[in-house]
């Protein structure tokens, strides 16, 4: 347990004492952060540009918060100016932002949002489910007060744990609450005893998951965070280069595209579900459909953790291009694979 906490601090780039894996998936991490930090009647600003911003808003409402929504078109980022406008004349307790929106492939810059949040006297909460281990995430440098993630994305660990971290300011809020945390299971005041030096029994932890988590963190640190971030970016650029040769694009906002989650446009006249079905049944490759307003408009191609490899990019492009050709979208599949394999700048 102590080794896992120490390694997790290194991956989160934080010195926060309260850094540990919650027993549950990423959504449990989300609930853990909200139920501990929010009391009924608190004002909470929630930034929404995809499915998981919407989920944060619903969880905050279930905690009794007064939710102020800051919304952007799906596939675009939350702009700092939008958050600044929402903070005018208000004194919210919390501002919640999705760093890497899994449903759209957009990466929202956080540093300036964090700065104006603290100037307004609020805490900042970050959803890092898809970003941890895949792109730069600097909890202490960015002064993030609370963050949650999941194990099954860029950590390449089975789903079942939610890494979280709470700053000293966040812990003051949690220990100074006027009401009990609404969830006994996710109450940090109790979990601190279990994950602290006293090892006070709280619940039966998923021990096999903790061992898997320990190993995933060890492998990340063995590779090195900077090297890992670069690997994800290089393979994203290789994919993007191959798609360009095919005549396709990644449709999330240019300059803010996630390297680990690629939102690929669906050409006119192509049966997107049939393409996904053939990729899975004939090539053992699974990609995701679009969600919400992007349903039927994009495929979501993950290049996360151990799956983010040049050979996987090329294998995907080869199968993908041939299936698209069969559907009438003519493309130079072999040239696309060669371009991706060559890598380098677009």
Residue 173, domain CATH: 3.40.640.10
302 and 230 in a common domain: yes
What pLDDT, on a 0 to 100 scale, did the predictor assign at position 329?
97
Provide the pLDDT confidence category of residue 345 given band limits of 50, 70 and 90: low
Q: What is the pLDDT of residues 285-339, one digit of tens each?
A: 999 999 999 999 999 999 999 999 999 999 999 999 999 999 999 999 999 999 9
Q: How many domains are contained in the chain? A: 2
215 and 251 in a common domain: no
Examine the fold and report which residue of 185, 203, 223 is the final residue of a domain before the chain moves on: 223
Q: What is the pLDDT of residues 68-91, one digit of tens each?
A: 999 999 999 999 999 999 999 999
Q: Quick one: average pLDDT of 114-133?
A: 98
171 and 32 in a common domain: yes
- Phi and psi at residue 145, to the nearest 5°: -85, -35
Q: What is the pLDDT of residues 177-217, one digit of tens each?
A: 999 999 999 999 999 999 988 899 999 999 999 999 999 99
What pLDDT, on a 0 to 100 scale, did the predictor assign at position 343?
77
Residue 264, domain CATH: 3.90.1150.10
Residue 45 has pLDDT above 90, yes or no: yes
Q: Quick one: average pLDDT of 218-246?
A: 98
Task: Tell me what percent of the residues of the chain surpass a pLDDT of 90.
Answer: 98
9 and 76 in a common domain: yes
Residues 6+ apart with CB under 8 A from 70: 45, 46, 47, 48, 78, 82, 83, 85, 86
Task: Tell me what percent of the residues of the chain surpass a pLDDT of 70.
Answer: 99
CB 251 within 8 A of CB 263: yes
Q: What is the pLDDT of residues 3-22, one digit of tens each?
A: 999 999 999 999 999 999 99
187 and 75 in a common domain: yes
Q: Quick one: average pLDDT of 122-151?
A: 98
Checking 314-317 for CB contacts under 8 A at 24+ apart, the result is: 314/238, 314/242, 314/340, 314/341, 315/283, 315/285, 316/239, 316/279, 316/285, 316/287, 317/239, 317/242, 317/243, 317/246
143 and 40 in a common domain: yes
Examine the fold and report which residue of 203, 223, 243 is the final residue of a domain before the chain moves on: 223
Residue 156 has pLDDT above 90, yes or no: yes
238 and 98 in a common domain: no
257 and 172 in a common domain: no
What pLDDT, on a 0 to 100 scale, did the predictor assign at position 346?
60
What pLDDT, on a 0 to 100 scale, did the predictor assign at position 269?
94
155 and 247 in a common domain: no
Q: Which residues pair with 126 in a beta bridge?
A: 97, 147
What pLDDT, on a 0 to 100 scale, did the predictor assign at position 344?
64
Residue 124 has pLDDT above 90, yes or no: yes
What pLDDT, on a 0 to 100 scale, did the predictor assign at position 206?
96
What pLDDT, on a 0 to 100 scale, did the predictor assign at position 198?
87
44 and 192 in a common domain: yes
Q: What is the pLDDT of residues 237-267, one digit of tens each?
A: 999 999 999 999 999 999 999 999 999 999 9
Residue 327 burial by CB count (10 A; 0-12/13-18/19+): exposed, middle or buried?
middle
The closest alpha carbon to 132, from 169, 102, 95, 104, belongs to: 102
230 and 219 in a common domain: no
Examine the fold and report which residue of 198, 223, 248 is the final residue of a domain before the chain moves on: 223
Residue 222 has pLDDT above 70, yes or no: yes
309 and 197 in a common domain: no
Question: 132 lies in which domain range?
Answer: 2-223
Mean pLDDT of all residues belonging to the chain: 97
């Amino acid at each position: 347990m102590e080794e896992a906490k120490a390694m997790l601090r290194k991956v989160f780039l934080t010195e926060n004492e309260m850094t540990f894996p919650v027993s549950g998936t990423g959504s449990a991490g989300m609930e853990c952060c909200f139920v501990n930090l929010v009391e009924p009647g608190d004002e909470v600003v929630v930034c929404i540009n995809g499915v998981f911003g919407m989920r944060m808003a619903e969880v905050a409402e279930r905690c009794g918060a007064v939710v102020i929504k800051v919304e952007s078109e799906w596939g675009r980022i939350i702009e700092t100016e939008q958050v600044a406008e929402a903070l005018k004349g208000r004194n919210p307790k919390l501002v919640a932002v999705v760093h890497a929106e899994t449903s759209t492939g957009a990466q929202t810059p956080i540093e300036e949002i964090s700065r104006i949040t603290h100037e307004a006297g609020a805490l900042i909460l970050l959803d890092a489910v898809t970003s941890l281990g895949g792109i730069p995430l600097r909890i202490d440098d960015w002064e993030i007060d609370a963050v949650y993630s999941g194990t099954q994305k860029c950590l390449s660990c089975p789903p079942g744990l939610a890494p979280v971290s709470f700053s000293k300011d966040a812990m003051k809020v949690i220990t100074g609450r006027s009401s009990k945390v609404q969830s006994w299971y996710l109450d940090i005041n109790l979990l601190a005893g279990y994950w602290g030096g006293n090892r006070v029994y709280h619940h039966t932890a998923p021990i096999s998951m903790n061992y898997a988590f320990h190993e995933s963190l060890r492998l990340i640190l063995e590779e090195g965070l900077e090297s890992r971030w670069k690997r994800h970016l290089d393979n994203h650029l290789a994919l993007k280069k191959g798609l360009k040769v095919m005549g396709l694009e990644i449709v999330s906002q240019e300059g803010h595209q996630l390297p680990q989650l690629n939102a690929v446009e669906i050409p006119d006249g192509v049966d997107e579900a049939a393409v996904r079905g053939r990729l899975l049944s004939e090539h053992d490759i699974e990609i995701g459909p679009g969600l919400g307003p992007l349903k039927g408009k994009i495929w979501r191609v993950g290049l996360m953790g151990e799956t983010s490899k040049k050979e996987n990019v090329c294998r995907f492009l080869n199968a993908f291009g041939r299936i698209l050709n069969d559907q009438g979208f003519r493309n130079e599949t072999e040239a696309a694979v060669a371009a991706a394999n060559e890598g380098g700048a677009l």
